[in-house]
Structure 1
């Protein structure tokens, strides 16, 4: 239970969190006084916080009552999809880890980047390409090129354009070479890179396709940079991607 000492020591973020947590599942709206009582915060503090949250659409106001706002539900929808993807994917990812011994990652495309939403560590002490929620340039990763190879042309064009705009000496983008690489990935069903994402590490990835053939995500493995990495893991990787695509389609994920 929150005490008076707690209200004197907490940060602004703690206070905002306390306001959100004051709402119950079946509340039909709360006044500032009730919010303050439940959050164990001064009424004046809750009034100021609520005013800011209403402005940002995190709370809605109807007369003297406050409700959780539309923007919270919009943000929640963005979280729900990756959460469902992870739930369906983790058993398949564990099987792929067991089959290859390598760390397995799952990523989705967002803008010109891939976002890692799950990983399963392999037997070797390997580091995943990115932390959960971490972002990597789509054009320089196996996960990204696996998705782009099966994406509509307008998506590829947009990602390539943004990559060219943001190119650095460390990540130069050769658009014609990239398009040739994407064609090769479409032929093989597996993308690969060595040392671009993490020096000394090799990665391979396959797209997870929905019923329409559009990519939902990409599943990849990473290990020590060595010759023939893609060829060794490709059969297990393609099987995992196909299995996962069928399971995600059955779950209505697309």
Structure 2
């Protein structure tokens, strides 16, 4: 097996484990990564030795370990991009009273990387982070689609329709155009009934990150959505320089070609 193939498989396994805060069993992990159980087990044994993942002896479920936290610890120190992301989310949550988050494009999904709970917790439910969510059901996904060149976004949407014929292709295309015109994206009752969110992309030469504010639909009136869209766009612009400076960290893919930013799912783990 080539070194690059092994690295991709290891990264794919780590992502799949990280996406399940309550832990994931070997069979489910193999299905999620589309890898043989034996391959997953070989990679997991090395990750276990280094403390990057842990294995519950009773449930036999794998979770992200403390060893990986130490490796990523430098991102939490000083004036790092992660501290600036957290500061931006704290400001969004304070100003809006709602839950705020930071997502990254991950193939046909977006990954919720960071999240700050809002002060108005009535009718709000915060969910574990990190987590994967379909691009077409999220405000960040729609905002990132709108940030792509029109033909690229249309090709992606139509390719998803081939696999998921229930997707409303024409509506998605229309929403992408509307999002591009107003500068922010909106969802209502799509990912969850009764939930709404507004998102804006962090400007970059090849945008892969977006900020969002979410809460119950009854608080997201048309007037408030417009205010949140303006707030998100402003905060996203202030965050852009920090992400642009980050090399090898969470923004490393910002300069990659679009064909690499949105690979087919199997390429993420093969």
TM-score range, shorter chain: 0.5 to 0.7
Residue 116 of structure 2 is aligned to residue 120 of structure 1: yes
Q: Give 2:196's aligned residue.
A: 202
Alignment gaps of 5+ in structure 2 = 1-40, 52-67, 255-270
Q: 2:245 & 2:46 partners in 1: Cα distance?
A: 39
Q: 1:240 & 1:225 partners in 2: Cα distance?
A: 22
Mapping of residues 1-254 of structure 1, within 5 Å = 16=46, 19-20=49-50, 86-125=82-121, 126-128=124-126, 131-153=128-150, 155-167=152-164, 172-210=166-204, 212=205, 214-226=206-218, 227-228=221-222, 229-252=224-247, 253=251, 254=254
Q: 2:187 & 2:194 partners in 1: Cα distance?
A: 11
Cα distance, 1:85 vs. partner?
5.4
Instruction: Give the number of equivalent residue pairs.
Output: 181
Alignment gaps of 5+ in structure 1 = 1-11, 22-74
2:139/2:197 contact within 8 Å kept: yes
Cα distance, 1:237 vs. partner?
1.1
* Alpha carbons of structure 1 residues 232 and 18: separation in structure 2 relative to 1, 3 Å: closer
1:200/1:224 contact within 8 Å kept: yes
Q: Which has the larger radius of gyration?
A: 1
1:116/1:133 contact within 8 Å kept: yes
Q: 1:141 & 1:17 partners in 2: Cα distance?
A: 32
Cα distance, 1:177 vs. partner?
2.2
Cα distance, 1:113 vs. partner?
0.9
Cα distance, 1:162 vs. partner?
4.1
1:150/1:215 contact within 8 Å kept: yes
* Alpha carbons of structure 1 residues 249 and 167: separation in structure 2 relative to 1, 3 Å: same
Q: What's the TM-score, normalizing by structure 2? A: 0.58
* Alpha carbons of structure 1 residues 151 and 167: separation in structure 2 relative to 1, 3 Å: same
Q: 1:239 & 1:134 partners in 2: Cα distance?
A: 25
Higher relative contact order (CA 8 A, sep 6+): 2
Cα distance per residue 1:165-219 (max 9 Å; x no partner): 3427xxx322222122111111111100111112111100001111x2x213010
Q: 1:133 & 1:153 partners in 2: Cα distance?
A: 29
Cα distance, 1:158 vs. partner?
4.8
Cα distance, 1:20 vs. partner?
3.1
SS of residue matched to 1:124: coil
SS of residue matched to 1:198: coil
**CA RMSD across the alignment:** 3.1
Q: 1:220 & 1:140 partners in 2: Cα distance?
A: 13
Q: What's the TM-score, normalizing by structure 1? A: 0.62
1:139/1:163 contact within 8 Å kept: no
* Alpha carbons of structure 1 residues 87 and 113: separation in structure 2 relative to 1, 3 Å: same
Q: 1:234 & 1:166 partners in 2: Cα distance?
A: 32
1:111/1:159 contact within 8 Å kept: no
Q: 1:190 & 1:166 partners in 2: Cα distance?
A: 27
Cα distance, 1:153 vs. partner?
4.2
Cα distance, 1:157 vs. partner?
3.9
